[in-house]
Structure 1
Amino acid sequence: MSAHPDRIAWLDTETTGLDETNGHLLEIAIIITDNELNEIAEPFSQIVRPATAQWKTVMNDFVTDMHTVNGLIAAIDDGEGAPLVQVEFDAVNYIHCHCGTEFKPMLAGNSITFDRVWTAHHTPALLAALHYRSIDVTSLDQFVTRSTSLESLNPDDTMPSDHRAVSDLRRSIAVAKHIRQGINGALAPQAG
């Protein structure tokens, strides 16, 4: 199936760590943009209620601290969220609602291979709703800063991360906009 001509699905997941085979998805967010990187709908964001009570045991200290500070552990402990099968179903419906079913939106995000691997393992129907091509903002930023005189375009100082999925997606979109502005400026015809 062809890529959607004017829809990009920005995806971010929060997880219990780096190991998708033994870990758990804790949050999934999607923002749909047009090609100009304008959000075309309210973001999709759902907390996943892990199926096992032992889900915290697979988190290392770094991840535990991160999800304690950002409130994700407390939210799950307080009963927020839905079973993964429901979150996946809702995410696929969100994509179909805003992108249709004739084309699949291209997948985008920061270090998107990480999210693609987790999605393939835990939510294959969600992955199937997305095009196989990706826009990886981290790779673009690394390529631009290593290949040109431009400095990093990552707005880390102005948009600190709280390691929650929607805010991380908005940071990814902001980086993509910075990269596009830098490339457009470098490619603009010079007066003279």
Structure 2
Amino acid sequence: ASATLTGGAVVRGGSGLKLLRTKLFLITVVFSSRQGPNLIINQPDELLDSMSEWCKEHHGKSGLTKAVKESKISLQQAEYEFLSFVRQQTPPGLCPLAGNSVHADKKFLDKYMPQFMRHLHYRIIDVSTVKELCRRWYPEEYEFAPKKAASHRALDDIRESIKELQFYRDSIFKRKTDEKKRKLIENGESDKAAS
């Protein structure tokens, strides 16, 4: 259980195709303090056959393609399960979508799981953005950032994203404000008075 993304859901999914033709086939939700459903969604053979070569190779090696074919879970069932889980964890409009390159996931979720997305906050926490800022502004610290295993499975990606964001929090986003200065600022006084 991590406190990194308290109240945030991290979702990964997609098949590597253009949004208009693509369907979700693997989706997982994890609150930083609790894991939710980890579902593989059934998709027709035509969709699997039309995947890019990269997707065919990687999803074939990982066993995901086979699992998608064998799954009995529909997209509607998956959305219901995720929405039910998220509603138990957080009130509407408070939970941000978070993860690496999550803006891409958001496009799929907006299209295929609109009720789920309506429950979430409109803002997202994109760990990839933090990574790029760290790489540019703090290159020494960036060298120590956790490396991805690149399994391309949702739950692994989420766990790696949480671990990565924890690293940035602990290494880059350090609290520098002393207690006296913080109290002055909280009370609306100028931070110059704290100096």
Please give the residue correspondences for 1:46-125 in structure 2 after superposition, counting only pairs within 5 Å: 46-50=39-43, 52-77=44-69, 79-99=70-90, 101-125=91-115
Separation in structure 1 between the aligned mates of residue 48 and residue 146 of structure 2, nearest angstrom: 31
- State the secondary structure of the residue aligned to 1:43: strand
Q: Deviations over 1:37-56 (max 9, x none)?
A: xxx22332101112x33111
Following superposition, the deviation at residue 171 of structure 1 comes to 0.4
Determine whether 1:42 maps to 2:66.
no
Measure the CA separation in 2 of the matches of 1:123 and 1:161: 25
Alpha-carbon distance in 2 for matches of 1:112, 1:134:
7
> Whole-Å Cα distance in 1 between the matches of residues 174 and 6 of structure 2?
23
- C-alpha separation in 2, matches of 1:145 and 1:160: 19
Provide structure 1 residue ranges, at least 5 long, that are not aligned to the other structure: 34-39
TM-score normalised to the size of structure 2? 0.81
> RMSD of the alignment, in Å?
2.1
Match of 1:169 in 2: 158
Q: Which of structure 1's runs of 4+ aligned residues deviate more than 3 A?
A: 184-189
Q: Which runs of 5+ in 2 are unaligned?
A: 179-195
- Between the two proteins, the alignment pairs up a number of residues equal to 173
Larger proportion of helix: 2
- Matched residue SS, 1:19: coil
Counterpart of 2:31, as a letter, is: I
Kept in 2, the 8 Å contact 1:11–1:169? The answer is yes
Q: Distance in 2 between matches of 1:165 and 1:81?
A: 18
Contact 1:153 1:179 in 2 (8 A): no
Which of these two proteins has the greater Rg computed from alpha carbons?
Answer: 2
Contact 2:11 2:30 in 1 (8 A): yes
- Contact 1:31 1:169 (C-alpha < 8 Å) held by counterparts: yes
Report what 1:37 is aligned to.
none
SS at match of 2:11: strand
Contact 1:141 1:153 in 2 (8 A): no
Question: Counterparts of 1:186 and 1:148 in 2: how far apart (Å)?
Answer: 16
SS of residue paired to 2:130: helix
> Which amino acid letter does the alignment assign opposite residue 119 of structure 1?
L
Secondary structure at the counterpart of residue 122 of structure 2: coil
User: Displacement of 1:187 after TM fit?
Assistant: 4.2
C-alpha displacement at 1:144, in angstroms?
1.5
Counterpart of 1:10 in 2: which secondary structure? Answer: strand
User: Take 1:142 and 1:24, find their aligned partners in 2: how far apart are those partners?
Assistant: 28
